[in-house]
Amino acid sequence: MTGTPRRRPAPVRDFIVSRGISGAVSLFIVTLLVFAGTALLPGDAASALLGQNATPEALEAIRRNLGLDQPLIWRYLAWVGHAAQGDFGQSLASGRPVAEVLLPRLGNSLLLASVAAVLLLPFAIGGGIAAAIWQDSWFDRVLGFTSMLFLAMPAFLVGYILIYVLAVRLGWFPSMSVAPLFGGASAWAKILALPVISLVIIGQAHTMKLTRTAILAVLATDYVLMAEVKGISRRRIILRHALPNALSAILSISILTVAYLIVDVVVIEIVFSYPGLGKLMVDSVAYRDLTVVQACGLLFALIFIGMNFLADLLALLVNPRQRVPARGA
């Protein structure tokens, strides 16, 4: 008797290889865009370093020393080759190794994004689950309205409103998040407060909406509808049946939220003058510190691509059905 052949789960290794290839291609495209963007910046790095009164001989010498007299393709290949070995060169503005300039700023940005994520995720995921439990209630409508309102607001506008209300009018927090040279947890809490609140407001709307959608998608399945016919309460159905089945989607949403927070810190750091990686990159553009700008852009891309890969991998591991290829595959 010939039966239907059993479908074999696709190995996780195949997923890692395919996602690794797509990630490498994405990173290659990012390196092209970052390098081309810095090369097309108006002005000249040598002139920015030496000033307007520099002699033509001095300008030519520093261009030759920095390799700016080489063809663009050779400069790109040299940059990629050194970056692949962890060598981002030296800062044109300070003369220090780029890695030495980046690491403290990266730590500040990761601290800001981590604190925001710890506060945002439980609130946003809990709110999305509550909105699904009380679908179409006044609570769901209020959350839906506020989510759409905050989604429509630019990040810088949220920051400026908070500065005006909480810093200028009420005086609860400093408007500028300048890190103290010395100070304990209370000093850091004050400078982190407004940037963290801004990131929570920006990120919660998207996360809450996606969580609600994921829960409602599971509630539309046949076995959940059968449970409702049997008279099981909606809250119990969500907590006992829908939530575990939506876990992979919620995990992906959580990780992608953290990835977007790390990207959003660029705008928030500028608004509050927070000494993070995003502010460093924008300041380096103003000073024509091309090596630092290139390293910052590449680092942001690596973090974002890595977080997306982690989200897909965890979703695959949590939900075994995603490891089963479709019929005929």
Rg (CA), the chain: 25
**What token pair was written down for 37?**
């963007």
Examine residue 286 and state whether it is found in any structural domain, yes or no. Answer: yes
The total of structural domains in the chain comes to 1
Examine residue 80 and state whether it is found in any structural domain, yes or no. Answer: no
pLDDT digits (tens, 9 = 90+) for 124-179: 888 888 888 787 888 888 888 887 887 777 888 888 888 888 888 887 877 776 65
**What token pair was written down for 193?**
């407060």
What is the rounded distance in angstroms from the CA atom of residue 173 to the CA atom of residue 165? 10
Domain of residue 121: give its range: 100-322
pLDDT in tens, the chain (329 residues): 445 455 444 566 777 788 778 888 888 888 888 888 777 766 666 665 655 666 666 666 666 666 666 777 887 888 888 888 877 877 777 778 888 888 888 888 888 888 888 888 888 888 888 888 787 888 888 888 887 887 777 888 888 888 888 888 887 877 776 655 455 666 677 778 888 888 888 888 878 888 888 878 777 777 777 776 777 776 777 777 777 777 777 777 888 788 878 777 888 888 888 888 888 888 888 777 788 888 888 888 888 888 888 877 777 776 655 555 544 44
CATH of the domain at 312: 1.10.3720.10
- Name the burial class of residue 247, with classes exposed (0-12), middle (13-18) and buried (19+) by CB atoms within 10 angstroms of its CB: middle
Examine residue 33 and state whether it is found in any structural domain, yes or no. Answer: no
Examine residue 11 and state whether it is found in any structural domain, yes or no. Answer: no
- Asked if 326 contacts 13 with a C-beta cutoff of 8 angstroms, the reply is no
What is the rounded distance in angstroms from the CA atom of residue 209 to the CA atom of residue 234? 19
What is the rounded distance in angstroms from the CA atom of residue 187 to the CA atom of residue 231? 54
Closest listed residue to residue 199, CA positions, set 260, 141, 149, 152:
260
Examine residue 108 and state whether it is found in any structural domain, yes or no. Answer: yes
Examine residue 280 and state whether it is found in any structural domain, yes or no. Answer: yes
User: Which DSSP string do the residues of 2-50 spell out, in sequence order?
Assistant: --PPPPPPPPHHHHHHHHHHHHHHHHHHHHHHHHHHHHTSSS-HHHHHH
Predicted model pTM: 0.75
Contacts of 86 (CB under 8 A, 6+ apart): 99
Examine residue 327 and state whether it is found in any structural domain, yes or no. Answer: no
Length of the chain: 329
Examine residue 255 and state whether it is found in any structural domain, yes or no. Answer: yes
